[in-house]
Amino acid sequence: MAEMTYRTALVTGASSGLGRGLALWLAKHGVRVFATGRRLSHLQALAAEAQAAGAAVEPVVMDVSAVEPSQERIRAIDAECGGLDLVVANAGIGGPTHGKRMDWERTRSIIDTNVTGAAATLCAVLPQMVERRRGHVVGVSSLAGMRGLAGHAAYSASKAFVATFLESLRVDLKGTGVQVTCVYPGFVKSELTAKNTFPMPFLMETEDAVERMGRAIFAGAAEVSFPWQLAAPMRVLKVMPNPLFDATARRLK
């Protein structure tokens, strides 16, 4: 497949963390970026930083868990800009959901954003991309989605959904001109991880993680996972027999 030239991109969850970093990285590489999020002031600060670097980021206030309005907005942007080349479903939330202290409201919130919101983002202009025989959809999963981690049932499951959803899309879209990439980050410095109260091995700087994401997207990689020091053992856990995994997960929690 020939390497794509990216003119336009939409990145969700761009108010902070990986989404903000990727939006800025893409803009600095000459892409017109529509940066979406719920906090206008954060998006405006991002746009100002991009402008100072001679790049173009356009703030779009959007809550991906509000599916219909979000899809309508993405489709309107697609029509206005002459077709989005890249759509990145990055918006996500976390938090503990322990089986012994299950909080349904938190669980539902994680599903609404990480599952329903991500799928709606990825699907919003996919038919148009297929018709144009051009485009790239990217979803941000997590190394935590490779197995059901103790105390984080909703988060692990939500990220497993993203990975499996993208895998099926990748198979379906082969030969259409539409590329699919799944990103599996480990621990990256962000507002989300700053709230964690447990050890975060091999915690990465946001800039390093963004660089790896951006290069993988431009290369049309099917998957990218980082850091390797955490990705390698997580892939071992993925194929580990359940009794052994259960014992290991209980020790790790």
Please state, as a whole number, how many other Cβ atoms lie within 10 Å of the Cβ of residue 246.
12
Angle between helices 206-219 and 17-28 in degrees, nearest 10: 60
Rounded Cα distance, 63 and 15, in Å: 11
Q: DSSP letter at 181?
A: E
Rounded Cα distance, 185 and 162, in Å: 13
Phi-psi region of 220 (alpha: psi -120 to 50; beta: other; left: phi over 0): left
Q: How many helices (H) and strands (E) does the chain have?
A: 11, 7
> 3-state DSSP call for residue 154?
helix
Q: Which residues contact 17 (CB under 8 A, 6 or more apart)?
A: 188, 190, 191, 192, 206
Asked if 184 is an active-site residue, the reply is no
Amino acid identity of residue 164, one-letter, is T
Rounded Cα distance, 201 and 41, in Å: 32
Give the active site residue among 155, 161, 184, 187: 155
Amino acid identity of residue 52, one-letter, is A
Q: The tokens of 170 are what? A: 């990748």
Give backbone dihedrals phi and psi of 18, rounded to 5 degrees, phi first.
-60, -40
- Residues with a known catalytic role: 155
